[in-house]
Amino acid sequence: MSEEPLGEGQGREEVDLGDPVAELAAFEHDASPALLVRVRRAIQRRTAVAQLTSFSASVPLMVLREFWLILIEQLNPNSVRKDGRHGEKSS
């Protein structure tokens, strides 16, 4: 056996798909509105869960970062501030 990975067309039979079958076009049906609603709800539900998961994973890190910056600011007030100024007193 050779150790080379299979490339395009190697080790596989090539199937001639031919022209599309015209008879299949007669079987086409419009999707029912109930199916479209179910699919749309499923997609929206998955999108909402993905966004909530992303949000719930990133918020604790953002809060810890802010607390860390507050702590550093309190311990060393001459450090660089969020607005980019170096310990300058504001008027």
Query: Could you tell me the residue ranges of all domains in the chain?
Result: 31-75
**In a 3-state reduction of DSSP, which class is residue 86?**
strand
| pLDDT at site 82 | 61
Report pTM.
0.43
Residues in Cβ contact with 12 at an 8 Å cutoff, skipping those fewer than 6 apart? 6
Q: CB of 38 within 8 A of CB of 32?
A: no
Mean pLDDT, range 18-47, rounded to an integer = 84
Residues above pLDDT 70, as percent of the chain: 58
